[in-house]
């Protein structure tokens, strides 16, 4: 069975849970040095039309652990730079007999288009400002490990929500799993109408993170200043930086997360980024295991992730009302 991982928005809660189970299972096996089931004889194309280091390496690692072969592409030097359309590139790769695609593209919806024309599974590694599902899955796994649950948590997503695929994927995932989402940031970096995204909007940082269990900081792109959306990095930091002072508004055990790369001194100061509350390094590591889960699931493999991990089971036991947001 072929499945795509295009966005968290289209996934059902049980599918998300299954991917997190798989991720947990893979992590356990690899940390303990045990073997993992391999997806042999399969080649996955790594199509990174937009620069990426961490996501690309993470997918390479995931494919390596699963015994898959990867074929690498970048837009520079490919036929795309010779004017080939994305559809034709995808059709070509299909007939090169690639079995699956991992794709990063600067345009929202590009992975959806690829899935329409490619015969095999497509995993979205970030499409424009739309979704970055594997980042959200890695973040969710990190939260589960550190908090033991997602349901009932208060999660503040802070920063440039408008231009962030990480914000969208995380909001969908965590809200589907029963967390309470708040989007925090200046009005100029927030979409005009948020009624189709799951979360409340708050422009004031102390109010927005009050009592939060998790804070997810978003990267501030410097070109937003040039677009006139914000006056200066200094002004942003003075209003929205997560530091010791502002962290006092959140819960004392509040988890601090960031998808990276961090602008130190802007979204986060050094103490906040490096404290015990920070889960930034764990996010990176867990990214590998959920990407393994996505490849495994997308390729229709069966057998793993049957044992509900202890952390999730425990969280279920103390759970409050189920599923606040329906897909």
Shortest distance, position 191 Cβ to another protein, whole Å: 3
- Whose Cβ is closer to another protein: residue 149's or residue 165's? 165
Q: How far apart are CA 11 and CA 134, in angstroms?
A: 12
Tell me how far, at minimum, the Cβ of 88 lies from another protein, in Å: 8
Is 116 flagged in the annotation as binding? no
Of 228 and 252, the one with the shorter C-beta distance to another protein is: 228
What are the residue ranges of helices labelled H in the chain? 13-31, 54-65, 86-95, 110-117, 133-147, 165-176, 205-208, 223-226, 233-240, 244-247, 270-274, 280-298, 310-317
Distance CA 316, CA 121 (A): 31
Query: 129 or 246, CB closer to another protein?
Result: 129
Which residues of the shown chain bind another protein in the complex (CB under 8 A)?
9, 85-87, 105, 107-110, 112-113, 117, 127-131, 162, 165, 168, 191-197
Nearer to another protein, 27 or 165 (CB): 165
55 assigned to a ligand binding site: yes
Q: Least distance from C-beta 10 to another protein, angstroms?
A: 8
165/219 with CB nearer another protein: 165
Angle, CA 151 vertex, CA 147 and CA 157 arms, to 5°: 75
For the bound state, the minimum distance from the C-beta of residue 117 to another protein, rounded and expressed in Å, comes to: 8
CB of 47 to another protein, least distance (A): 13
135 annotated among ligand-binding-site residues: yes
CB 7 within 8 A of CB 294: no
Surface-to-core class of residue 234, CB atoms within 10 Å of its CB (0-12 exposed, 13-18 middle, 19+ buried): exposed
**Is residue 261 annotated as involved in ligand binding?**
yes
Determine the Cα–Cα distance for residues 193 and 202; give it in Å rounded to an integer: 13
Task: Give buried/exposed letters for 15-24 (b at 16+ CB in 10 A, else e).
Answer: bbbbbbbbbb
129 annotated to a ligand binding site: no
Binding residue per annotation — 104? yes
Nearest CA among 127, 100, 125, 99 for reference residue 113: 127
For the CB of residue 6, give the shortest distance to another protein in the complex, in Å. 8
Q: Which is nearer to another protein, 193 or 238 (CB)?
A: 193
* Binding residue ranges: 54-55, 82, 104, 132, 135, 165, 219, 260-261
* Binding residue ranges for L-aspartate: 82, 165, 219
* Binding residue ranges for carbamoyl phosphate: 54-55, 104, 132, 135, 260-261
């Amino acid at each position: 069975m072929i499945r795509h991982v295009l966005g968290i928005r289209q996934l059902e809660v049980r599918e998300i849970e299954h991917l997190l189970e798989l991720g947990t299972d893979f992590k356990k096996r690899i940390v303990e040095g045990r073997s993992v089931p391999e997806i042999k004889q399969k080649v996955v194309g790594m199509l990174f039309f937009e620069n990426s280091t961490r996501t690309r390496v993470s997918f390479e690692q995931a494919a390596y652990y699963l015994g898959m072969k990867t074929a690498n592409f970048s837009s520079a030097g490919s036929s795309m730079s010779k004017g080939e359309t994305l559809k034709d590139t995808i059709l070509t790769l299909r007939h090169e007999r690639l079995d699956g695609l991992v794709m990063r593209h600067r345009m929202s919806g590009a992975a959806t288009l690829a899935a329409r024309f490619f015969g095999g599974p497509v995993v979205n590694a970030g499409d424009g400002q739309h979704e970055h599902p594997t980042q959200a899955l890695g973040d969710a796994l990190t939260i589960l490990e550190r908090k033991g649950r997602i349901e009932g948590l208060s999660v503040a997503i802070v920063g440039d929500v408008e231009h962030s695929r990480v914000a969208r994927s995380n909001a969908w995932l965590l809200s589907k799993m029963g967390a309470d989402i708040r989007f925090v940031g200046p009005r100029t970096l927030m979409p005009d109408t948020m009624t189709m995204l799951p979360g409340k909007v708050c422009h004031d940082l102390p109010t927005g993170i009050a009592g939060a269990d998790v804070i997810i900081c978003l990267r501030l792109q410097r070109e937003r200043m040039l677009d006139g959306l914000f006056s200066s990095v200094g002004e942003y930091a003075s209003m929205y930086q997560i530091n010791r002072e502002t962290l006092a508004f959140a819960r004392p055990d509040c988890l601090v997360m960031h998808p990276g790369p961090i602008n130190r001194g802007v979204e986060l100061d050094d103490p906040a980024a490096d404290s015990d509350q920070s889960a930034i390094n764990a996010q990176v590591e867990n990214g590998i295991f959920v990407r393994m889960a996505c490849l495994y699931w997308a390729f229709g493999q069966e057998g793993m992730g049957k044992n509900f991990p202890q952390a999730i089971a425990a969280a279920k036991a103390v759970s409050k009302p189920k599923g606040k947001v329906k897909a």
